[in-house]
Structure 1
Amino acid sequence: MVLARELNLEETLEIARQLEGTMEVQVQVHGITNIYHSKRSLLQNYKEHQGRFETISREELSKEEGLFLIEQERPNERFPVYEDENGTHIMSSDDMCMLDSLHELMEGGVDSMKLESLLKSAEYNEAVIRSYRKVIDAYTVDPAGYEFQEEWLDEIRELQDPNRELSYGFFFKEQVY
């Protein structure tokens, strides 16, 4: 089961506990998050509506400095817009990074952790994989003696886009319905 990214850590661990032994649980632990999706090509349709019939290049839509939205209420947050053959996607303004809390998910029975690589360079993605591998290996070798090492985050921070904050997503937020 792929859990919603809006769940907090407590809810995630409770679901993993209830499904233990019956169904594997996957959560996203790193990267950009898709916050809106339309199967329509909204950007291309908008350009055509304006009478501009040139197509938007895939490179223009996939690079980090490509297209983005800015809300009036939050002018310092940029929401990347990505469009492909599946439609239009609006992405989160920050990148999730659960590296220092990954052991809590492992202890809690989460079976699979997704590292989202969309809109990132190969160099960045390789650094992320190396860092998460270090945490997983260190925890697996000695769960009782495991201690997070801050330098495991250094390579990610060095390559992180300065316009995109590393955050915990919803993992440590209380949801009010």
Structure 2
Amino acid sequence: MVIEIVRIGQRLVRDDRVTTHVALVSRAFGAQRIFMTEVNPEIKDTLEKINKTWGGDFVVEFIDKWKTIVKKKKEENFKIVHLSMYGENINDVQENLRKEENLLVVVGAEKVPREIYELADYNVGVGSQPHSEISALAILLDRIQKGVQFEKEFPNAKRKIIPTKNGKNVLVKETRD
């Protein structure tokens, strides 16, 4: 399954950290790419540093218009999943989502345009109470992949966490530059 994310909008200053966390969750929970509009370019630098240290080839791509990428991905046979508190309950749609080959998950910041509800193949809610888009994305990605995203190794990692009951254990691979 190919999973990509598009982040629509950003509340200036306030959302730099939130958008960074949306990208970090996307990467850690198995997405291959995130498209972002209206963001601080330092977010891309942060994710590139994470890839270099912790491995992987997650891609951050800046776009001008969310609608262009959504329509392009629809043409490429991606199903569009819009995360919304007002969507169908994830418990009711997760089985269908697991059957899809390509997903583009839309994560809004501020109020999203009405049009996204109509362009989406799935409008999905993870709960009916106010919550963060970061938690909603993590829950969605985990539910549709059943946790297997955590079993994969990130290629070219210089550091790897070794699970331990107490304390911290990080394997640091020697590199010769």
The two structures have a TM-score, normalised by structure 1, of 0.23
Q: TM-score, normalised by structure 2?
A: 0.23
The structure carrying a bigger strand percent of its residues is 2
